[in-house]
Amino acid sequence: MPVIRVAILGAAGWMGRVHTMAFQTFPHFFGMADGTAEIAALVVTDAQAGAGLPGVAPGTRILTDWRDAVSDPDIDLIDICLPDHLHYPVAKAALLAGKHVFCEKPLADTAAEAKELADLARAKGLSTRVGHAFPRNPVHDLAKEIITSGEIGEVRLFKGCQHVDMFGDPSAPFMWRADGALAPTGIVGDTGSHVFSFMEFLVGRVQSLVADTMILTPRRPVLAGSALGSAGDGLTGQEDWAEVTNPDAAHILCRFENGARGIVDFSRVATGRKFRQGYEVYGTKGSLIYDYDEVNRLRFYTNEDRVGRRGFRQIDVGPEHPTYRAFLPLPNFALGYNETKIIEAAEVIRSITHGVPMWPTFDTGHHICQIVDACMESGRRQTWVDIDLAG
């Protein structure tokens, strides 16, 4: 049974805790025949941030410098759960040190950086993974199966969205996600990349787009200790205010390589939308609709039904799909976000132990960064932008 020794960077944050949980628990659901993980190090920004981690992963070293994990010859996999601006330099250092890399999205701040990482990983024969976990919900494997089999015909139109309201209140406090120095692409790389991952997984690569990117609340109060989900309660009027320097929202029209068209929107200011995610795929013979509020349900329409009986049917994904069956014996019990991260962790280990790439790799991450780059450029230039699919 191969054992992959993992260092989780950014272990004290929300995503770092999720990754820690996923690597610890996936053998309970998927077994250890394809290998298992040992959490060898948890890396935090300072000792105080890691004070509670020894109880979460007993015996694991707590480090305060990611370089110590990258240079450790006993660590096989570097798992990056750090702010966006650190993804590229840390991933590059890890690849140069001969480590496999699992990096949260976005892979890099630019497509050029993402391509450099993908090329470096390929040259060194290392396994890579980008943290686009949402499409690993087995309901999306079903959607891809229906599309690939031709059951809805030739795909003509994709509509996708993702909205949250973490910045819906103008008094919600400033955090690094609104700082263009730390997260240069804002909501485009943060939330938009999730929609782009569905597009790449289900329909194919995007070859051109036009985007309207926007900052809707230009300034936010600075409150000590604020984090994702913090509210602006208790403002005294004496707070400092910081400029928001990356996009809050975007609207996009796009053209796919295969001729399909796309309409996409996403934001972090949709008041009341705690988490809205969905897509619609329209083909020449049928269509699919997905809504995260019904997390394991797909709606399917086909012209194969006779006239007078046509309509959307609801398909609840269940134990006929192996990744669902690993968790639950009955349909409609619902797999949520943490389960998709557990699936992801199991696939990361399997790709390393078997030497077989599993979607989404750094090559996938590169194309998604190309879409992000094109959105940012189009937003600045107010025009259509082509994507170099050969580059």
Tens of pLDDT, residues 51-103: 778 778 888 999 999 999 999 999 999 999 998 899 999 999 999 999 999 99
List phi, psi (to 5°) of 29. -105, -35
- Mean pLDDT on 191-207: 97
**pLDDT for residue 229:** 66
Q: How far apart are CA 301 and CA 146, in angstroms?
A: 11
Give the tens place of pLDDT for each residue, 236-275: 777 889 999 999 999 999 999 999 999 999 999 999 999 9
Which of these, 339, 344, 338, 349, lies nearest to 5 by C-alpha position?
349
Q: Residue 131: which pLDDT band, with cuts at 50, 70 and 90?
A: very high
Q: How confident is the model at residue 49 (pLDDT cuts 50, 70, 90)?
A: confident
Dist. CA 92–CA 84, nearest whole Å: 14
Instruction: Give yes or no for residue 375 having a pLDDT over 80.
Output: yes
For residue 328, the tally of other CB atoms under 10 A from its CB is 16
Q: CA 165, 219, 179, 205: dihedral to nearest 10 degrees?
A: 50
Q: Where are the alpha helices (DSSP H) in 81-230?
A: 87-96, 111-124, 138-148, 186-187, 193-202
Q: What percent of the chain has pLDDT over 90?
A: 88
> pLDDT tens, 150-196?
999 999 999 999 999 999 999 999 998 999 999 999 999 999 999 99
Residue 262 carries which side chain, given as an amino acid letter? G
Predicted TM-score (pTM) of this structure: 0.94
Can you say whether residue 186 is alpha, beta or left, with left for phi > 0 and alpha for psi between -120 and 50 degrees? left
- pLDDT of 232 > 70? The answer is no
